[in-house]
């Protein structure tokens, strides 16, 4: 690809120069520039890429796409052989340039996007599994990991920048993938990271309080989610799959229909695709699924009502992607739990230990309610270990404290990625809500010590919930990041307690 070919595919307001040599890459990070690259200089949330144009040119960039060049005219030293294009929207230009450079993989992969506060990761994994069971090759982009036609790669961002997304898509398409399943975060939607991806199916799981450190208000948070459905910043999906239980769904359904999308709802007892009845079992659930395409009894290995909803969302989306009802029903029993989502830790102990990613008050409440079902027929207690992240929405802290306290029999409040904040200061904002709930509790800033204390306090039939980190493998402190895996820490503690040999 040469510069004129690239310019023909982006929305530019002006351009000058023509780079002679072929383009070797598209980059938005000047540190990744190599000879022959085009550098997309765009304003970001924490920095402005236009400040690094000189660095990109010195590193070998042959073309610059900029959204605010005039702000830095007095600093930039262009070379005659470097072509320049001016654009109004940097991230949109990045997506357009990336789609063109990587051969338009969005025209090969049919995209399913999942947004919502809770359940995105589980729903994405389940949707991919249902597609794979129908012999479709997939690309999965999400919080835990990426999948590229069966190859597992580490996840860098829930929703990567469009350049990286298109590269992953192109890699998958070259390996025979025909489907993209991706979590689409509110940050990613608001910042335009999903520009250029036409979503065939879009799923809305729910909306509860989260990320207000970024969005500031619930209305702005919801507005970011709504972008996936309303056809303003992004094309509307062909099919919108919406949680019938969420109070925001009627508004979202209205916006989606106006934009031209078909709306399908899902739920427990309600919705187009619904669990008309269900029985929770120690190993999952048995449910009677009723849909416009048919009815059947299915057995799932995913525990709790929240996972019934996640399964129904994935089931509805996969059906919208052309998988038959009977094939989906046959695939459900083979579905397995997602890493870090209600993940059991078994060291041979006489009580249950669960690691889960729950890091909002709503998710924590759901997690504890599920644990309560496990101890309903015994004298077991629920012991909950949790914390709140530093440099994040502080209004969540008392809400999570109260959610943990009102549902648990004993709570250990601890650290969960304190980042630049003092762990004790975070815990001081949680503790009043624990007191108000009336629960017995302990405060231990050291997460390892907190997990060990909780496990040492457990008796037969109890359930110990270790919440907040789930699949994460590190703890982010003020001065360093250290390896930290809740399940490994729990297993080590159980061994020290004499379990597991």
- Which residues sit in the known binding site? 30, 116-122, 158-159, 185, 191, 193, 392, 416-419, 468, 472
Annotated binding site for meso-2,6-diaminopimelate: 392, 416-419, 468, 472
Buried/exposed code over 416-431 (b: 16+ C-beta within 10 A; e: otherwise):
bbbbebebeebbebbb
Pairing between strand 14-16 and 83-86? Answer: antiparallel
8 A C-beta contact, residue 19 and residue 2:
yes
Query: What is the CA 134 to chain-centroid distance, rounded?
Result: 24
Task: For the sheet with 410-413, list strands across it.
Answer: 343-344, 352-356, 463-467, 382-386, 410-413, 440-443
Provide the angle, in degrees to the nearest 10, between the axes of the packed helices 361-374 and 396-407: 10
Instruction: Give the SS3 label for residue 423.
Output: helix
Annotated binding site for ATP: 116-122
- Angstrom distance (rounded) from CA 60 to CA 82: 9
**Helix, strand, coil fractions of the chain, as percent rounded to 5:** 35, 25, 40
How many helical (H) and strand (E) elements, i.e. helices and strands, does the chain have?
16, 24
Query: What are 204's two structure tokens?
Result: 């809305």
CB neighbourhood size of 80 (10 A): 6
Strand partners, 288: 277, 297
């Amino acid at each position: 690809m040469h510069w004129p070919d690239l310019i023909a595919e982006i929305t530019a307001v002006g351009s000058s120069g023509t780079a002679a040599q072929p383009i070797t890459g598209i980059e938005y990070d000047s540190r990744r520039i190599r000879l022959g690259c085009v550098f997309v200089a765009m304003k970001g949330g924490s920095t402005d890429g236009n400040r690094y144009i000189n660095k990109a040119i010195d590193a070998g960039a042959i073309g610059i796409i900029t959204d605010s060049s005039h702000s830095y005219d007095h600093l930039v030293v262009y070379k005659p052989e470097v072509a320049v294009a001016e654009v109004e929207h940097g991230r949109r230009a990045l997506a357009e340039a990336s789609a063109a450079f990587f051969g338009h993989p969005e025209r090969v992969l049919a995209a399913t996007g999942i947004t919502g506060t809770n359940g995105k990761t589980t729903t994405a994994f389940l949707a991919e599994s249902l597609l794979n069971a129908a012999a479709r090759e997939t690309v999965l982009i999400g919080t835990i990991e990426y999948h590229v036609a069966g190859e597992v790669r580490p996840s860098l961002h829930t929703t990567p920048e469009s350049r990286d997304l298109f590269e992953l898509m192109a890699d998958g398409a070259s390996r025979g993938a025909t489907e993209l399943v991706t979590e689409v975060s509110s940050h990613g939607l608001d910042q335009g990271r999903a520009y250029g991806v036409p979503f065939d199916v879009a799923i809305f799981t729910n909306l509860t309080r989260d990320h207000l450190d970024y969005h500031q208000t619930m209305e702005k948070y919801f507005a970011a989610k709504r972008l996936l459905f309303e056809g303003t910043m992004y094309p509307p999906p062909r099919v919108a799959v919406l949680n019938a239980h969420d109070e925001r769904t009627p508004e979202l359904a209205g916006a989606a229909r106006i934009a031209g999308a078909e709306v399908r709802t899902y739920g427990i007892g309600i919705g187009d695709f619904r669990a008309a009845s269900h029985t929770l079992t120690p190993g999952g659930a048995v449910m009677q699924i009723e849909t416009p395409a048919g009815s059947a009894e299915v057995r799932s290995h995913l525990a709790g009502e929240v996972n019934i909803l996640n399964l129904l969302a994935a089931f509805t989306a996969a059906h919208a992607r052309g998988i038959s009802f009977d094939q989906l029903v046959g695939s459900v029993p083979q579905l397995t739990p997602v890493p870090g989502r209600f993940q059991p830790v078994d060291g041979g102990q006489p009580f249950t230990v669960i690691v889960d990613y729950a890091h909002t008050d709503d998710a924590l409440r759901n997690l504890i309610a599920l644990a309560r079902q496990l101890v309903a027929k015994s004298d077991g207690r629920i012991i909950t270990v949790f914390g709140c992240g530093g440099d994040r929405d502080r209004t969540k802290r008392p809400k999570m404290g109260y959610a943990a306290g009102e549902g648990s029999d004993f709570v250990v409040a601890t650290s969960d990625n304190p980042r630049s904040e003092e762990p004790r200061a975070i815990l001081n904002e949680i503790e009043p809500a624990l007191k108000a709930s009336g629960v017995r509790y302990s405060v231990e800033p050291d997460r390892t010590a907190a997990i060990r204390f909780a496990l040492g306090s457990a008796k037969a039939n109890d359930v110990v919930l270790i919440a907040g980190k789930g699949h994460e493998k590190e703890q982010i402190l003020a001065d360093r990041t250290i390896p930290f895996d809740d399940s490994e820490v729990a297993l080590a503690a159980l061994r020290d307690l004499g379990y597991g040999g």
